[in-house]
Protein backbone atom coordinates (compact mmCIF):
# COMPACT_ATOMS: atom_id res chain seq x y z
CA UNK A 1 0.00 0.00 0.00
CA UNK A 2 1.22 3.48 -0.76
CA UNK A 3 1.55 6.13 1.93
CA UNK A 4 -1.01 8.92 2.09
CA UNK A 5 -0.17 11.92 -0.05
CA UNK A 6 0.11 15.35 1.45
CA UNK A 7 -2.11 18.21 0.35
CA UNK A 8 0.82 19.77 -1.52
CA UNK A 9 1.37 16.55 -3.48
CA UNK A 10 -2.33 16.32 -4.35
CA UNK A 11 -2.29 19.97 -5.44
CA UNK A 12 0.78 19.33 -7.61
CA UNK A 13 -0.99 16.44 -9.35
CA UNK A 14 -4.09 18.58 -9.90
CA UNK A 15 -2.02 21.39 -11.40
CA UNK A 16 -0.18 18.94 -13.66
CA UNK A 17 -3.46 17.46 -14.92
CA UNK A 18 -4.90 20.93 -15.56
CA UNK A 19 -1.71 21.93 -17.39
CA UNK A 20 -1.91 18.81 -19.55
CA UNK A 21 -5.56 19.37 -20.47
CA UNK A 22 -5.19 23.10 -21.17
CA UNK A 23 -2.05 22.73 -23.29
CA UNK A 24 -3.59 19.75 -25.10
CA UNK A 25 -6.70 21.79 -25.92
CA UNK A 26 -4.65 24.77 -27.08
CA UNK A 27 -2.38 22.63 -29.23
CA UNK A 28 -5.36 20.75 -30.68
CA UNK A 29 -7.09 24.03 -31.48
CA UNK A 30 -4.00 25.39 -33.17
CA UNK A 31 -3.62 22.23 -35.27
CA UNK A 32 -7.28 22.44 -36.24
CA UNK A 33 -6.95 26.08 -37.30
CA UNK A 34 -3.83 25.37 -39.32
CA UNK A 35 -5.35 22.33 -41.03
CA UNK A 36 -8.77 23.86 -41.67
CA UNK A 37 -7.44 27.24 -42.87
CA UNK A 38 -7.29 26.17 -46.53
CA UNK A 39 -11.06 25.58 -46.44
CA UNK A 40 -11.65 29.21 -45.47
CA UNK A 41 -8.95 30.98 -47.45
CA UNK A 42 -7.53 28.48 -49.91
CA UNK A 43 -8.42 26.93 -53.20
CA UNK A 44 -10.06 23.79 -51.76
CA UNK A 45 -12.94 22.57 -53.95
CA UNK A 46 -16.37 22.92 -52.35
CA UNK A 47 -16.96 19.17 -52.53
CA UNK A 48 -13.95 18.60 -50.23
CA UNK A 49 -14.93 21.06 -47.49
CA UNK A 50 -16.70 18.58 -45.21
CA UNK A 51 -14.04 15.91 -45.52
CA UNK A 52 -11.23 18.41 -45.10
CA UNK A 53 -12.71 19.82 -41.89
CA UNK A 54 -13.38 16.29 -40.57
CA UNK A 55 -9.75 15.27 -41.16
CA UNK A 56 -8.60 18.49 -39.47
CA UNK A 57 -10.82 17.74 -36.45
CA UNK A 58 -9.58 14.16 -36.14
CA UNK A 59 -5.96 15.24 -36.46
CA UNK A 60 -6.45 18.01 -33.90
CA UNK A 61 -8.10 15.61 -31.45
CA UNK A 62 -5.28 13.11 -31.85
CA UNK A 63 -2.60 15.77 -31.33
CA UNK A 64 -4.39 17.14 -28.26
CA UNK A 65 -4.82 13.68 -26.76
CA UNK A 66 -1.17 12.83 -27.44
CA UNK A 67 -0.12 16.01 -25.65
CA UNK A 68 -2.19 15.11 -22.58
CA UNK A 69 -0.84 11.56 -22.50
CA UNK A 70 2.75 12.73 -22.98
CA UNK A 71 2.57 15.29 -20.17
CA UNK A 72 0.90 12.88 -17.74
CA UNK A 73 3.21 10.02 -18.69
CA UNK A 74 6.23 12.24 -18.11
CA UNK A 75 4.76 13.20 -14.72
CA UNK A 76 4.75 9.57 -13.63
CA UNK A 77 8.37 8.92 -14.58
CA UNK A 78 10.93 9.28 -11.78
CA UNK A 79 14.10 11.39 -11.79
CA UNK A 80 13.62 14.13 -14.36
CA UNK A 81 16.75 16.21 -14.84
CA UNK A 82 16.01 19.81 -14.08
CA UNK A 83 12.72 19.08 -12.34
CA UNK A 84 12.13 18.93 -8.63
CA UNK A 85 11.23 15.58 -7.17
CA UNK A 86 9.49 14.88 -3.88
CA UNK A 87 12.23 12.29 -3.22
CA UNK A 88 15.16 14.70 -3.54
pLDDT digits (tens, 9 = 90+) for 26-68: 999 999 999 999 998 888 898 999 999 999 999 999 999 999 9
pLDDT digits (tens, 9 = 90+) for 16-32: 999 999 999 999 999 99
- If you write DSSP's letter for every residue of 18-68 in order, what string do you get? HHHHHHHHHHHHHHHHHHHHHHHHS---GGGHHHHHHHHHHHHHHHHHHHH
Q: State the pTM of this model.
A: 0.77
What pLDDT does 1 receive? Answer: 47
87 pLDDT higher than 60: no
CA–CA separation, 63 and 4 (whole Å): 34
Are residues 21 and 68 in contact, defined by beta-carbon separation less than 8 angstroms? yes
What pLDDT does 75 receive? Answer: 81
80 pLDDT higher than 60: no
Amino acid sequence: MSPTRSQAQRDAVTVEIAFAVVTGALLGGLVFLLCAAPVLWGPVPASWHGSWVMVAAVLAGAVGALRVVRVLWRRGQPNHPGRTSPHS
